[in-house]
Chain A
Amino acid sequence: MGDIRVMREDLRPPAEPPKRHLIAINDLSRDDVERLLATARTFERSLEREVKKLPTLKGRLVINVFYESSTRTSSSFELAAKRLSADTMSIKASGSSVDKGESLKDTAITLGAYDPDVIVIRHPQIGAPQLVARNTQAHIVNAGDGKNQHPTQALLDLYTMRCEFGHVDGLHVAIVGDVLHSRVARSNIQALTLLGARVTLVGPPSLLPRGIEAMGCEVSTEIEAIAAADVVYILRMQRERMQEGANYVPSLREYTARWGVTPERLRPGQKVMHPGPMNRGVEIDPRVADAADALIETQVRAGLVTRMAVLYDLLTTGPVPVAVVEPLEVA
């Protein structure tokens, strides 16, 4: 008989796990993504009920801090938090202490004093979410940092493709347009390749960043390259990001003529996605935007349930237990 050994290691209280955030797609494993998509699916079913509010995050505080203008992302985060019964607070840069020159660090400390459970932040500069994470105790959700990442957009896009095709693995997605200035493109390249999709970037040479193929995607400057794709993902021509006189393209007219997505350039049955807001007649022909193969409205709906899943996942752990997904009897 061997000695009976006491496993002292096991008797120690478990160490406090590190705070979980959603800052970049690269921080997620494939399992993490699958879990989030499955959770989103569960929430989608709950939203089919007559009373859509769930008690899941009752008593939790979610603060949305937007340093850049946003309609769909900010409204979708706010509604997602409300659907889960969390308290929400929204702060915009203009009209706040940011106008008075307060630093992001000081703003983070100020908001942290309210003990929020989650801070959702959009900021024009790369790394702003990490800075807030270092200076508060809250879980941080990156709602877009400069040209770097927009992870919830990529998750909702995966969700949309999963709904449409039943799988993402093996899909061929062409991302068309201003990749250089697009955080949506960067998050999507990472998310799509993580799930086994093939990604081709298409656009003017001056808007395809040098070295981007190291992310595991193909690159083409010819619009004909979209023909082979299952999904054509059109990026907005971000005129507000163009530095004056930078001459990335000589004119929007020439861009549209060469890289605009028109019905003539699509195969029947090819699905079209766009993160919004669209510039109709610039990067996307209105006939494409309004066609049955456009999944753009589906994307917006997917945004709500995906963001519900993200908030839920950060504040609990793992998939939604069935019992939790009961409608709240609201007075």
Chain B
Amino acid sequence: MLYAKDGRQENLLIRDARVVDPVEGVDATLDVRVDAGTIAQLGTSLDPNGHRIVEGAGLVLAPPFVDPRVDLRVPGRENEEPLASGTRAAAAGGYCAILAMPNTDPVVDSAAVLGALTQDARTEAEVPVGFLAAITKGTDGAELTEMAELALQGAVGFTDDGHPIVAPGLMRRALQYGAVTGRPLALHCEEPTLSRGGHIHEGPVSAELGFGGYPAVAESVMVERDLSLAAYEEQPLHLLHLSARESVDALSRAQAAGVKATGEVTPHHLCRTDEAVRTLDPNLKMNPPLRGERDREALVAALRDGTIAAVATDHAPHARHEKEVPFEAAPFGVTGLETAFAALYTYLVAPGLIPLETLLERMSAGPARIYGLDQPRIAVGAPANLVLLDTSGSWQVTEAGFRSRSVNSWLLGETLRGQVRMTVAAGRVVHEG
């Protein structure tokens, strides 16, 4: 289900790093030996045996990240993010796998389009990429796609991405029929008649600035509906980029009632509130919008206790001219692959809001589990997927520093703590910095 180009698998010996693998329950200073794409040995004072030596002293070696929600702009808008730059950005961000959304042009709603994409990924993708396919043709919420065939062709899951499935009857059919695929449905929850005309979260900031409000209830009312349908159909469900406290409450209640529901949250919703929008910077415009402080606190708490199992960057590249317009004219979406770990380390781990192990789990094993992917782990015999992190290093986010083709980051100009020194994905060293 994941596709990447072939490349040389290096023999490595990473020495004296603090190895942190929350799934394996490891937190110790160890050497890790990699032989031809496989983790061969863990221990102390391992023999280099001709392997390339990487000094890990003072650094954290962890399972690399899995991003369950990335917009690559292929096919259709290659000027904003082709496979090569998108996956280079992922490598620089410490990711060993990313999942691309089907909101392309044409939409990934047929086996033909998906097949072409997986072919391209085999020649262009620096890190393994999986593709989600649309739930409805053209993501226009009317007719189901040929989900069974798409699953056979390699679709990791199904989503209409930025579009809600407005009709409850169709949502129910998708849950019923989608069961044959064994792949999860991932839903963007937005009640369009409540969010219409909204540019930012509805609250004191939208009232003062005069923006049309996109209220939290526009999300949570849809979350409640979809959870009710999932409970009734006894089918699993994944909720994309949750932003509202009420949505988190609904997810928590559904999980307690036995619904197989999962959720994800973005770094920007965890680190920022609608107060940031006062700058009118279009790089703070995304869907769902940044919400209030109580929402942000609820999201952090849910990530910490596992109600929300995954961090998703919601990496949405946009050409410069698209964002160099007044806020209301700008498209929704911000980039995130290259800044996710540093942002979350700086704003959540360093101040003590979330333990490092928890963050590592929610960025790696958590998202992998949701889509049934192999969880990256540091254990003998496991495929060599590794990320080497410098948690004391600071760096400034600049346009020039991005591998992504687009620079619409919500963190431009900020100094962050936490650097990705090396990413090993499927045995290949895909990033060194």
Contact = CB atoms under 8 A, between A and B. Distances in A.
Nearest to B326: A125
A146 B196 CA distance: 17
Nearest to A123: B326
Contacts of A105: 321, 324-325
B329 interface: yes
Contacts of B215: 210
Given A130-B280, A243-B197, A209 B325 contact: no
B208 A215 contact: yes
Contacts of B210: 126, 146-149, 182-183, 186
Contacts of A243: 196-197
Name, among B205, B209, B211, B321, the residue most crowded by chain A CB atoms within 10 Å (CB to CB): B209
B413 interface: no
Nearest to B327: A127
Given A210-B202, A243-B197, A103 B209 contact: no
**Can you list the 8 inter-chain pairs with the closest CB atoms, starting with the nearest?**
A147-B210, A211-B204, A125-B326, A214-B204, A209-B207, A127-B280, A212-B207, A148-B210
A127 B211 CA distance: 11
Contacts of A131: 324-326
B146 interface: no
Interface in B96-133: none
Interface string A235-266: 00000000100100000000000000000000
A246 B193 CA distance: 9
Contacts of B197: 243, 246
Interface string A141-163: 00001111100000000000000
A127 B203 CA distance: 19
B376 interface: no
Nearest to A181: B210
Name, among A131, A211, A214, A215, the residue most crowded by chain B CB atoms within 10 Å (CB to CB): A211
A166 to B, nearest CB: 30
B280 A126 contact: yes
Given A103-B321, A183-B210, A125 B329 contact: yes
Given A146-B210, A147-B210, A125 B327 contact: yes
B246 to A, nearest CB: 15
Nearest to B322: A103
Nearest to A209: B207
Nearest to A243: B197
Given A243-B196, A243-B197, A126 B321 contact: no
Interface residues of B, number: 23
11 contacts: A126-B211, A130-B280, A131-B324, A131-B325, A146-B326, A148-B210, A148-B211, A210-B202, A211-B207, A211-B208, A214-B208
A223 interface: no
Contacts of A186: 208-210
Interface in A155-212: 182-183, 186, 209-212
Name, among B197, B205, B211, the residue most crowded by chain A CB atoms within 10 Å (CB to CB): B211
Name, among B204, B207, B326, the residue most crowded by chain A CB atoms within 10 Å (CB to CB): B326
B325 A104 contact: yes
Contact of A210 (B209, B213, B327): B213
Interface in A101-156: 103-105, 123, 125-128, 130-131, 145-149
Nearest to A210: B202
Interface string B173-210: 00000000000000000000000110000111111111
Interface of B: 196-197, 202-213, 215, 280, 321, 324-329
A127 B208 contact: no
B209 A126 contact: yes
A109 B273 CA distance: 33
A119 B209 CA distance: 22
Contacts, number: 74
A127 B321 CA distance: 16
Nearest to A189: B208
A214 B202 CA distance: 13
Contacts of B203: 210-211
A105 B326 CA distance: 9
B208 to A, nearest CB: 6
Nearest to B281: A127
A131 B324 CA distance: 8
A125 B328 contact: yes
Contact of B202 (A147, A211, A246): A211
Contacts of A103: 321, 324-325
Contacts of A148: 209-211
A188 to B, nearest CB: 13
A183 B209 CA distance: 9
B355 to A, nearest CB: 34
A104 B326 contact: yes
Contacts of B209: 126, 148, 186
B206 A146 contact: no
A228 B61 CA distance: 68
A148 B210 CA distance: 5
A220 to B, nearest CB: 16
B349 to A, nearest CB: 32
B196 A126 contact: no
B324 to A, nearest CB: 5
A59 to B, nearest CB: 32
B289 to A, nearest CB: 14
A127 B324 CA distance: 11
A259 B321 CA distance: 44
A15 to B, nearest CB: 21
Contacts of B321: 103, 105
Nearest to A105: B324
A104 B206 CA distance: 23
A125 B329 CA distance: 7
Nearest to B208: A215
Contact of B326 (A126, A149, A210, A215): A126
Nearest to B215: A210
Contacts of A130: 280
A177 to B, nearest CB: 15
B329 A209 contact: no
A186 B328 CA distance: 18
Name, among A123, A125, A130, A215, the residue most crowded by chain B CB atoms within 10 Å (CB to CB): A125
Interface in A16-75: none
A30 B202 CA distance: 29
